[in-house]
Amino acid sequence: MNSLKEEGETVVSPQALAAVLRPIETATGMPNVSYTDPGLFGFERDHVLSRNWVAIAFEAKLGNAMIHPLDFMGIPVLLTRSKDGVTRVFHNVCSHRGFKLVDKERRTGGRIVCPYHSWTYSLQGDLVATPHIGGVGVHEVEGFNCAHKGLKEIRSHVWMGIVFINLDGHAPDFEQDMEAVIGRTQSLMGTAGEDEMIYARDFGALEMTVRCNWKLVIENFLEAYHLPFIHPKLNAYSPLADHHCGIHGEKYSGQYTTTFDPGIDSENPLPMFSGWSPDRLSIGDYPAVYPNLLLGLQANHVFAMIVHPLSADSCFEEVALFYCGEGACGDVFRDIRRINLETWTSVFNEDVGPCERMQAGRRSPGYHGGGFSPVLDRCSHHFHQWVARQYRQACDQDGRH
């Protein structure tokens, strides 16, 4: 492989990728252009995110019998949820003249009608009506097979209430690809943990636009090094010395703490996951599932943050909080949920400024990927290496020389 370059494209040299892949002591991070260049944003969409399982939505926020358009890095995508709660994902484009089919989230009686010429699809994506296709009043025509013109489905999977897609359709099966993530999550929460998770309908959501490349949010989340400086309050009860780096799998790493307080001595503690081991109540686990999902697993609640890449230098954070069982989402625990959301909101807000300043720093010709603490930046370096390998593979596979 030489460089990632076709005419007019920005270069990421093989030397720059090799530098990321060096041992952490001498490694540099991904080069500035991968955080600033619109062309590389498109490259990452087509060759990194599209080839992996990417988190795109929280299923509990999607109402039944609803259709939900969303933009995935410039690609119009449509989530449909049938009356019986089955989620499917399609390309949001009409098979006739390429009209963007749905532009607003809405309820549906089970049909999606294209506003342009009224071709009509079921929530399963079948083309079920083609008004006047054979001339006025003639709705079928010989030689035109509706079965070939349904919506194009995107491979999807729901895990922990999170909808994932694999755009190119070639990633390994979700469960195989995510074996390490699923295994470790179950080892903490128990095998029933996923079923016990209930999305909190009040004080359960948080959204923020951040003016930085999506990768910086992941990298920032993966290290606790900044804790004493950026999160002094959090550091007071969950100090840096009690945070540890864990590399759990090829696309899965994160910090965990041993000082989480599930409040069991309080008058009215939140219910806890039934399979969470009593000797691990003080564990708080904060992994990233590459490319774009951040998790916070604690004995009495879970948060998940989907990092939606918007452009080379902006992204959107969508956070959902889940508690253990319907009871935990009832009135009795309302104040606890409110305070919990306020706490996480202030922590996540404290991270916005640093992420945006790292983005600003990536406009500097004096910065060439920087360096890492071999101890405290192990997880963020692991993520950089994963990204670099994705770039390298893409260049090799596509014969970009």
Q: Which residues bind ligand FES (CB under 6 A)?
A: 94, 96-97, 99, 114, 116-119
Q: Which is nearer to Fe ion, 87 or 380 (CB)?
A: 380
Question: Residue 237's binding partner, choosing from Fe ion, ligand FES, none, with beta-carbon cut-off 5 to 8 A by kind?
Answer: none
Q: Which is nearer to ligand FES, 88 or 117 (CB)?
A: 117
Q: How far is the CB of 209 from Fe ion (least distance, A)?
A: 17
Q: How far is the CB of 242 from Fe ion (least distance, A)?
A: 15
Q: Which residues of 142-158 are buried (b: 16+ CB within 10 A; e: fewer)?
A: eeeebeebbbeebbbbe
Q: Answer whether the bond into residue 291 is a cis peptide, omega within 30°.
A: yes
Question: Residue 100's binding partner, choosing from Fe ion, ligand FES, none, with beta-carbon cut-off 5 to 8 A by kind?
Answer: none
Residues 9 and 191: their CA atoms lie apart, in Å, by 47
The token pair at 71 is: 């933009």
Q: How far is the CB of 379 from Fe ion (least distance, A)?
A: 13
DSSP-assigned states of every residue in 383-396: HHHHHHHHHHHHHH
Q: How far is the CB of 83 from ligand FES (least distance, A)?
A: 24
Q: Which is nearer to ligand FES, 42 or 131 (CB)?
A: 131
Angle of helix 378-397 relative to helix 214-221, nearest 10 degrees, comes to 140
Helix (H, G, I), strand (E, B) or coil at 204: coil
Question: Residue 368's binding partner, choosing from Fe ion, ligand FES, none, with beta-carbon cut-off 5 to 8 A by kind?
Answer: none
Nearest to 20 by CA among 393, 395, 391: 391
Contact residues for 353 (Cβ-Cβ < 8 A; gap 6+): none
Q: How far is the CB of 130 from ligand FES (least distance, A)?
A: 8
**Contact flags string 341-370 toward Fe ion, x per CB under 5 A:** ----------x-------------------
Question: Residue 351's binding partner, choosing from Fe ion, ligand FES, none, with beta-carbon cut-off 5 to 8 A by kind?
Answer: Fe ion
Question: Residue 99's binding partner, choosing from ligand FES, Fe ion, none, with beta-carbon cut-off 5 to 8 A by kind?
Answer: ligand FES
Q: What are phi and psi of 394, to 5 degrees?
A: -65, -40
The token pair at 23 is: 């041992």
Question: Residue 229's binding partner, choosing from Fe ion, ligand FES, none, with beta-carbon cut-off 5 to 8 A by kind?
Answer: none
Binding site for Fe ion (CB under 5 A): 351
